[in-house]
């Protein structure tokens, strides 16, 4: 059986998970809120720090403006003094101011004034007076340079002259006489005549190191530092005493406004990581100088305390989760203890024990479940008892049994099913009984037909055996006829060949007879020639006799020869006549032979045609005999197959008869079984 997880454990797990999620969400929210609040507070501190440094620089620059303006106003009155005393007047004014500033310890390094040519006196090419403090002592330099461009070409001089207003120079490196250098700036105010025309300026040299000493960085962050950038982005002061400005990798990644200070989020090479940078513009009497006060601190430094506090909050959240989980587990375990009894009762019900009862008496939902479970067990026992009663009656053959009215709800379907089963079985039994009677009658008819079929099949099998014998004899005769037909076909072919040879010989005989007739004609011609010779010989003999008679005694010998020649001519004439008769007879016989040979050849052609027809008919007879032989063989095979089927039918009829007898027995048994049931009407 599959091991199941207890409800208490499941509920406790769900509650613990929900609490853990809630605590985690609250913890994360607290950490995020704390980190955000601390970051905002830290950034606010940076902004205030940058603003404080900006105010410090503004105070120094404003003092420089106020001082230069005051000296400018004072010195501009030199026009009312005698020319010989003007330079002394200017020197005294500068010296008194420088002395006072040195006593106060301000950032002022030196004061000076510079004039346009021909201003102090008409023949003066230029004038400058400079008081400064070095190593605690005041020094004075004054000169009337031959080339006034030595100072009139300076940036601060040109800017002040062009704007005719207060100016601040860019930081520059100043070389002291003792070999030391320092970064300083010059602030200057113009000196105007009574017409407002620029005639010179009063300037203050301010050491930027003194400004750096007054810059403050946040003491709460180790990575914090501050610096001042001029309008040209030159580092004018640094809280760490550095003279160069750190370059920002991404100063415009994120910018926020916070208490009139701009907060940048970027990367600083000095810090080596992401940093927050607070910036505050520096103003002098409401005029933007272009200078900016910066305070830089690394993000890690700001978030370090927030991270530590976040870890503390996380650990506290975990501790709260563990404690609450323990309390919830104990509470749920105690509260859900009665559920185990309900589960045990349900398991007994699952195993078929309908006597299972739950002894839980609580007034909550678990007690209600236990009460309903006991009622369910009681109802199931009643249903099982009723079903057992109905099934028992059916098993005893009583199909008239009726169900009670204890069924409720969906269990009414069980009642309907039992009634349907009883009625269905009763109806089936009646139908089986009726079908049994019908089957019995049909079996009797089938048995009669089967016996008749068996008898007929046996008779047909005997006839088929006789027919097989007859067909076999007919097959033998047909095969013999086929053999004779093949022999006739062979002899006909031989006769055809013989007649064809006779025709050829008759043709040759006709040709020979024609040749003999031609030769006879030539012989007749020769005989005619001989006859002509005999006639001429006879005439010659006659002439010889006449001549011999004329010759007398001298002609006796010649007369004898003439007689012999005459006799020879007679015999030749007789032989020629006889030969002519023989040749004529031969020609007549040859002509008759030629006619007879032609007639014979024509008859032989007719015989050859008839023999050809006989050969064709013999071939057709042979083909028909072979076809008949194959057909008879096929019929014989079919008869053998029919005979086998008849034998199978006889066997099947016998088996059917046996099966019918067995079916009759089974029908009788079925009637006996049906008679055991009490069927409802």
Is the pLDDT score of 206 beyond 80?
yes
- Backbone φ and ψ for 482, nearest 5 degrees, come out as -65, -40
Residues 6+ apart with CB under 8 A from 620: none
Higher pLDDT, 596 or 399: 596
Q: What's the mean per-residue pLDDT of the chain? A: 74
In the 8-state DSSP scheme, what is residue 678?
B
Q: pLDDT by residue (tens digit) across 385-431?
A: 777 777 777 777 776 777 776 777 777 777 677 777 777 777 777 77
Give the pLDDT band of residue 189 (cuts 50, 70, 90): very high
What integer pLDDT is reported at residue 10 of this predicted model?
Answer: 64
Q: Which residue, 431, 493, 52, is CA-closest to 278?
A: 52
What integer pLDDT is reported at residue 144 of this predicted model?
Answer: 58
Give the pLDDT band of residue 265 (cuts 50, 70, 90): very low
Is the pLDDT score of 239 beyond 90?
no
Q: Which residue, 26, 2, 186, is CA-closest to 111?
A: 186
What integer pLDDT is reported at residue 556 of this predicted model?
Answer: 64
Structure tokens at 152: 């009139």
What integer pLDDT is reported at residue 3 of this predicted model?
Answer: 54
Residues 6+ apart with CB under 8 A from 355: 348, 377, 381
Q: pLDDT by residue (tens digit) across 13-26?
A: 777 777 778 777 77
Is the pLDDT score of 190 beyond 90?
yes
Q: pLDDT by residue (tens digit) across 241-257?
A: 544 333 333 343 333 33
Residues 6+ apart with CB under 8 A from 129: 87, 90, 91, 94, 112, 113, 140, 141, 142
What integer pLDDT is reported at residue 255 of this predicted model?
Answer: 35
377 CA to centre of own chain: 58
The gap between the terminal CA atoms of the chain, to the nearest Å, is: 50
Q: pLDDT by residue (tens digit) across 544-588?
A: 777 777 776 666 666 676 677 777 767 777 776 777 777 677 767
Asked if 89 and 300 touch (Cβ cutoff 8 Å), the reply is: no
Q: pLDDT by residue (tens digit) across 646-655?
A: 677 767 777 7
Is the pLDDT score of 337 beyond 70?
no
Asked if 226 and 50 touch (Cβ cutoff 8 Å), the reply is: yes
Among 249-258, 320-329, 542-551, 636-645, where is mean pLDDT lowest? 249-258
Q: pLDDT by residue (tens digit) across 270-311?
A: 444 577 778 888 888 877 788 888 887 777 777 776 677 777
Name the maximum alpha-carbon separation found in the chain.
Answer: 236
Residue 385 to residues 286, 309, 379, 419: CA-CA distances in angstroms?
Answer: 106, 72, 10, 16
Q: Which residue, 91, 112, 131, is CA-closest to 200?
A: 112
Residues 171, 173: Cα–Cα separation, whole Å: 7
Asked if 663 and 439 touch (Cβ cutoff 8 Å), the reply is: yes
H or E element, residue 609: helix 556-675
Residue with tokens 């998970």: 17
Positive/negative CA dihedral, 591, 593, 594, 599:
positive
Give the pLDDT band of residue 377 (cuts 50, 70, 90): confident
High-pLDDT (> 90) share of the chain, %: 5
Asked if 348 and 320 touch (Cβ cutoff 8 Å), the reply is: no
What integer pLDDT is reported at residue 69 of this predicted model?
Answer: 92
Q: pLDDT by residue (tens digit) across 486-544?
A: 777 677 777 667 767 766 767 776 677 677 767 667 776 776 777 777 677 778 777 77
Residue with tokens 């005549």: 193
Give the pLDDT band of residue 200 (cuts 50, 70, 90): very high
Give the pLDDT band of residue 123 (cuts 50, 70, 90): confident
pTM of the model: 0.43
Domains of the chain: 39-303 (3.30.450.20), 338-395 (1.10.8), 419-675 (1.10.287.950)
């Amino acid at each position: 059986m599959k091991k199941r997880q207890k409800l208490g454990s499941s509920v406790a797990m769900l509650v613990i998970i929900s609490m853990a999620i809630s605590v985690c969400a609250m913890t994360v929210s607290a950490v995020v809120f704390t980190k955000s609040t601390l970051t905002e507070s830290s950034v606010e501190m940076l902004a205030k720090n940058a603003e404080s440094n900006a105010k410090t620089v503004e105070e120094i620059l404003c003092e420089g403006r106020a001082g230069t303006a005051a000296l400018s106003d004072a010195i501009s009155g030199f026009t009312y003094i005698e020319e010989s005393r003007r330079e002394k007047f200017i020197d005294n004014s500068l010296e008194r101011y420088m002395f006072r500033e040195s006593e106060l310890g301000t950032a002022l390094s030196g004061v000076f004034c510079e004039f346009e040519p021909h201003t102090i006196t008409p023949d003066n090419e230029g004038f400058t007076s400079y008081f400064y403090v070095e190593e605690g002592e005041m020094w004075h330099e004054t000169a009337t340079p031959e080339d006034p461009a030595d100072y009139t070409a300076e940036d601060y001089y040109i800017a002040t002259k062009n704007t005719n207003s207060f100016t601040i120079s860019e930081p520059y490196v100043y070389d002291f006489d003792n070999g030391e250098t320092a970064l300083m700036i010059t602030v200057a105010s113009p000196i105007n005549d009574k017409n407002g025309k620029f005639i010179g300026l009063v300037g203050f040299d301010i050491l930027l190191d003194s400004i750096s000493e007054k810059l403050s960085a946040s003491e709460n962050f180790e990575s914090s530092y501050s610096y001042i950038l001029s309008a040209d982005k030159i580092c004018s002061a640094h809280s760490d005493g550095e003279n160069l400005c750190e370059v920002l990798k991404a100063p415009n990644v994120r910018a926020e406004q916070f208490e009139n200070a701009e907060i940048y989020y970027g990367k600083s090479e000095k810090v080596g990581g992401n940093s927050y940078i607070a910036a505050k513009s520096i103003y002098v009497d409401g005029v933007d100088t272009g200078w900016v006060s910066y305070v830089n601190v690394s993000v890690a430094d700001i978030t370090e305390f927030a991270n530590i506090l976040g870890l503390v909050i996380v650990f506290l959240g975990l501790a709260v989760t563990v404690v609450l989980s323990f309390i919830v587990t104990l509470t749920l375990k105690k509260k859900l203890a009665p559920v185990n009894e309900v589960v045990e009762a349900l398991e007994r019900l699952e195993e078929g024990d309908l006597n299972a009862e739950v002894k839980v008496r609580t007034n909550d939902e678990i007690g209600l479940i236990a009460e309903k479970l006991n009622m369910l067990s009681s109802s199931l026992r009643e249903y099982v008892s009723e079903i057992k009663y109905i099934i028992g009656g059916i098993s005893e053959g009583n199909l008239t049994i009726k169900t009670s009215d204890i069924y409720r709800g969906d269990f009414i379907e069980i009642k309907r099913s039992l009634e349907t089963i009883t009625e269905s079985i009763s109806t089936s039994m009646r139908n089986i009984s009726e079908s049994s009677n019908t089957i019995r009658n049909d079996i009797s008819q089938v048995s009669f037909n089967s016996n008749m079929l068996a008898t007929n099949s046996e008779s047909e099998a005997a006839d088929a055996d006789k027919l097989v014998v007859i067909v076999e004899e007919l097959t033998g005769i047909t095969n013999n006829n086929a053999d004779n037909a093949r022999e006739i076909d062979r002899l006909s072919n031989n006769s055809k060949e013989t007649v064809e040879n006779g025709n050829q010989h008759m043709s040759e005989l006709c040709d020979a007879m024609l040749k003999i007739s031609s030769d006879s004609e030539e012989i007749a011609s020769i005989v005619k020639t001989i006859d002509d010779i005999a006639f001429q010989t006879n005439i010659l003999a006659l002439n010889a006799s006449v001549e011999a008679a004329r010759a007398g005694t001298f002609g006796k010998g010649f007369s004898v020869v003439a007689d012999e020649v005459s006799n020879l001519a007679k015999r030749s004439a007789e032989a020629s006549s006889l030969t002519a008769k023989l040749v004529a007879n031969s020609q007549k016989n040859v002509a008759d032979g030629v006619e007879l040979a032609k007639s014979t050849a024509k008859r032989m052609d007719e015989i050859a045609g008839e023999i050809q027809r006989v050969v064709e008919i013999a071939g057709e007879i042979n083909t028909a005999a072979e076809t008949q032989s194959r057909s008879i063989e096929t019929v014989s095979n079919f008869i053998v197959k029919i005979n086998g089927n008849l034998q199978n039918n006889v066997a099947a009829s016998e088996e059917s008869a046996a099966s019918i007898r067995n079916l009759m027995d089974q029908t009788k048994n079925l009637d006996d079984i049906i008679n055991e049931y009490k069927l409802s009407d």
